[in-house]
Amino acid sequence: MEDFKVKDTSLAPQGHLQIEWASKHMPVLNQIKERFTKQKPLKDITIGACLHVTKETAVLVEAFLAGGAKVSLCGSNPLSTKDDVAAALTEKGVHVFAWRGQTTDEYYWCTQRAIDYKPEITLDDGADFTSTIHSRRTEALSNIKGGTEETTTGVLRLRAMEKAGALKFAIIAVNDAYSKYLFDNRYGTGQSTLDGIMRATNILLAGKNFVVCGYGWCGRGIAMRAQGMGANVIVTETNPLRALEAVMNGFRAMPISEAAALGDIFVTATGDISVVRKEHMQNMKDGAILANSGHFNVEIDIQDLEELATRKRTIRPNLDEYTLKDGRRLYLLGEGRLVNLAAAEGHPSEVMDMSFADQALCVEYLAKNPKMAPRVHPVPKEIDESVATLKLSAMKIRIDELTDEQKKYLATWEMGTI
């Protein structure tokens, strides 16, 4: 069996520097790694991970190796792998199967290779790994103690599997921890999505009409940061509460059919399909820019764009121009895949410090509790809170503690108006 497959192993020296840089900004994960080094809680456990192969993921993998695990790794998106990081990981003994710019067949070939190492604990981002094990690699199921899931879309898919009675091992929904989605999905996606748009286009955001489709945790972050750069933010939603929240946060809310004619930039972050489609593209301004930050490349209907276009040109990396029959040009960033990973570097390390601290602690939890029921489980509260406590401490921020009088007061009902 091949030990790994990456684009170019000679990129490893640059990858090591990138990993070192990320690690410097991930104090919580480093504390966990130090403990893992001493305690070896993952001794001889095989971990199979399907994650964006970035410098932050490499720091997580280092923590697993320090804990005594063996690791196989594939990418969770055909465009998100950083080839230098992948190369560096091969020198750390990780079985990496990932490179940037994969075809769908290559992507799933890599998934299958990571499964070949017979993982006992899995990590997934979007549920492709878990669904492949359940559909095409069922012989791998017998080894698996449990797994984790990193993102909203993955948790939705796994809950659907559980509902259909198809889920065969326990999954901890890391995405749903407060210490994950309140920070990663909001501040991480907020900043890195704008980073991706700016690296791909270098346009000025101030004064632009910036349409955010979906006002969930990611959408809130994107809207907030776009507003901070001086853009006029318009939100489209299907959920009345979220739309109302957007309005009360100072944004305009309207259907995508109306926003289509107004927007200079469109960003989808819904986890849904065909949110921006033909009838909307037909009404867009010349020069409109389309980007997606939701997990899969289905939010902007790329087939519709291809059908409407008479010409397609790549203007610069991650920026494709589609000319429509009437001469208008629409621009698609990063092939409609996660723009923050395709055109930038994904979330900043400080945010991934928390998400991956959750991952590391949940993997340790699964190693200690190998017989959890085959359901989607929440992150244990003590893990969620410990990540926030460790992060505050790493930031040298102290907070108050409840006094005994306050604890008693908060737990009683007798005392009211005085």
Among 76, 191, 293, 359, indicate the residue that binds ligand NAD (CB under 6 A): 293
Q: Taking the CB of residue 89, how many other CB atoms lie within 10 A of it?
A: 27
The answer to whether 261 touches 283, Cβ cutoff 8 Å, is yes
Of 120 and 150, which has the nearer Cβ to ligand NAD?
Answer: 150
- Residues 127 to 186 in contact with ligand NAD, rule: CB under 6 A: 151-153, 181, 185
Among 295, 337, 377, 391, indicate the residue that binds ligand NAD (CB under 6 A): 295
Rounded CA separation 189/338 (Å):
10
Interaction of residue 196 with ligand NAD, rule CB under 6 A:
no
Of 262 and 372, which has the nearer Cβ to ligand NAD?
Answer: 262
Q: Taking the CB of residue 232, how many other CB atoms lie within 10 A of it?
A: 18
Rounded CA separation 184/330 (Å):
30
What amino acid is encoded at 200 in this protein? A
Of 35 and 242, which has the nearer Cβ to ligand NAD?
Answer: 242
Among 217, 251, 331, 356, indicate the residue that binds ligand NAD (CB under 6 A): 217
- Residues 75 to 114 in contact with ligand NAD, rule: CB under 6 A: none
Q: How far is the CB of 200 from ligand NAD (least distance, A)?
A: 14
Interaction of residue 272 with ligand NAD, rule CB under 6 A:
yes
Rounded CA separation 49/265 (Å):
34
- Residues 223 to 252 in contact with ligand NAD, rule: CB under 6 A: 236-239, 242
Q: How far is the CB of 230 from ligand NAD (least distance, A)?
A: 22
Rounded CA separation 339/291 (Å):
6
3-state secondary structure at position 227: helix
Cα atoms found within 13 Å of the Cα of residue 82, Cβ hemisphere only: 24
Angle at 393 between CA 387 and CA 397, to 5 degrees: 120
Query: Closest residue (Cβ) to ligand NAD?
Result: 216
Interaction of residue 391 with ligand NAD, rule CB under 6 A:
no
Q: How far is the CB of 268 from ligand NAD (least distance, A)?
A: 8
3-state secondary structure at position 294: coil
Q: How far is the CB of 328 from ligand NAD (least distance, A)?
A: 23
Interaction of residue 214 with ligand NAD, rule CB under 6 A:
yes
Q: Is 231 exposed, middle or buried (0-12, 13-18, 19+ CB in 10 A)?
A: buried
Which positions touch ligand NAD (CB under 6 A)?
A: 151-153, 181, 185, 189, 213-219, 236-239, 242, 269-272, 275, 293-295, 338, 340
